[in-house]
């Protein structure tokens, strides 16, 4: 498969790029800073420098042309203010979805966040983040032209992955290593029957492949 990942230099994205390239997929990662390109090449991905905060739908669609799947894994990141949660975590996700539809790329995965809700209340930056992610998820789910799956991991850690997870529409709170989130995304890409699902994920006792097969088609 050819897979295009928005936010290609993110911690989950780099892990996913390594997994996908190792199994023989062709991977492109969209990045904002040219100096990040070497890290993507080391992960086995082709770097594409494009700022999703200022790019047009046409520019992004050109990058997605011919892809089998798109993964939105971009985020404004820690330390960013509420305005960038809006321009990256919401608007860029909507732009990437628009572009995927325009390019005819049906399979669309979103790395969201547990608790994402456009109606979430609160005045902190994290509250703005959850609203932005929730709004983006709603915009993606409203698109009949996309076979979307939304993955909402719990608290992300840099612990070594165990390959064992809990994956369900609702899991309750809990941590999960970024390694295991990347493994879930790789497995979801291979499982089109998970289209139309919004899934939460935390560490658990079920192997990734078994967990994904368990929710497929539900």
| Residue pair 128/116 in contact by the 8 Å Cβ criterion | no
Quickly list DSSP for 130-164.
HHHHHHHHHHHHT-TT-EEEEEEE-EEE-SPP-SE
- Catalytic residues, which ones? 129
Strands 164-168 and 197-203: antiparallel
Between 178-189 and 11-22, two packed helices, what is the crossing angle to 10 degrees? 50
Helical ranges in 65-115 per DSSP H: 82-84, 93-103
Tokens of 197: 């699902």
């Amino acid at each position: 498969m050819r897979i295009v990942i928005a936010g290609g230099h993110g911690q989950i994205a780099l892990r996913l790029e390594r997994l996908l390239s190792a199994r023989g997929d062709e991977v492109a990662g969209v990045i904002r800073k040219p100096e990040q390109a070497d890290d993507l090449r080391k992960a086995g991905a082709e770097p594409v420098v494009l700022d999703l905060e200022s790019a047009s739908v046409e520019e992004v669609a050109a990058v997605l042309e011919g892809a089998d799947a798109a993964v939105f894994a971009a985020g404004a990141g820690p330390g960013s203010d509420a305005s960038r949660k809006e321009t990256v975590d919401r608007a860029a996700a909507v732009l990437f979805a628009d572009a995927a539809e325009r390019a005819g790329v049906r399979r669309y995965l979103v790395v969201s966040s547990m608790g994402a809700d456009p109606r979430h209340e609160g005045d902190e930056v994290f509250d703005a983040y959850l609203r932005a992610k929730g709004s983006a998820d709603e915009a993606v789910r409203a698109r009949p032209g996309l076979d979307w799956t939304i993955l909402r991991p719990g608290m992300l850690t840099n612990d070594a992955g165990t390959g064992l997870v809990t994956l369900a529409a609702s899991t309750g709170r809990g941590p999960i290593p970024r390694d295991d989130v990347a493994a879930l995304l790789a497995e979801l890409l291979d499982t089109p029957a998970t289209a139309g699902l919004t899934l939460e994920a935390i560490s658990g006792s079920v192997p990734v492949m078994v967990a994904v097969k368990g929710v497929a088609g539900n």
